[in-house]
Structure 1
Amino acid sequence: MTTLKIVNGQDHIYNGAGMQLVGTHSPDLDGGLNPRELLEASLALCISISLQKMMAFDGVKYDKDSIHIEVTSTKDEDRRKNRFAHFHVTVALPPTLEPDYKEKLKTVVERACTISNTLKGEAVVELVERG
């Protein structure tokens, strides 16, 4: 579970371990991430975890520092929909991997990442007031 509490006018985001980061209302501000950046970060992290699990499963040795993932989202052109319509994910994979294995990784990871599967689907968001 993730919790957001406003503390001294700032959006503090918590998980079970405690306060993890500050949310902001504008992009690219020091000291926090806005909702778009958090969504992009969730997708990047899920892809990273899926890649690493797959390579561990296959017993592949690689330099973890060579993995780099960048996610850019764009909004739907129809402003009435008020949603993100496209997520462009750029992945730098370890250069020591064979081209065929890299293609396999991309295919498997695309199916394995829960966040990307959720973004592709029609998830239900239910807003309930706490009593």
Structure 2
Amino acid sequence: MAGRGQGIVIRDAHFPGRAPIEAYGNGGFRFAGMSHRGSILCVPSGIYGFADLAPKQLDRQALERVFEEVADIEVLLVGTGRDLVPMTADLRSAAREAGIMADPMSTGAAVRTYNVLLSEDRAVAAVLLAVD
């Protein structure tokens, strides 16, 4: 009925599946024939919109979904934007304790590496910070 209900419902961005990243830049990403403005998190359960964080703000709490799916992840690629920014000691430690090899790199390098590992059917996840 018109005029009844909740109106527009905003949902967290989520693509339920694994897909290669087709393009990045201009503050977002293209994958699975769609585009997303902002950063993304790619895990076995899908591709999710991700908070607009600075690389040094990436911590276990921000990447909680990665740790929830740890049984299906061996490698975590951390795309830190235009330039490589080392991970914090806490995040490195949390990943190591979970049995995940975490590798920081520029977002462009992370996108390329993610696509290769995905094509090899590897247990890979990636947090990709958007670049302009």
TM class, shorter-chain normalised?
under 0.3
What TM-score results when the alignment is normalised by the length of structure 1?
A: 0.26
Higher relative contact order (CA 8 A, sep 6+): 2
Structure with the bigger percentage of helix: 1
What TM-score results when the alignment is normalised by the length of structure 2?
A: 0.26
Structure with the bigger percentage of strand: 2
Task: From the CA coordinates, give the structure whose radius of gyration is larger.
Answer: 1
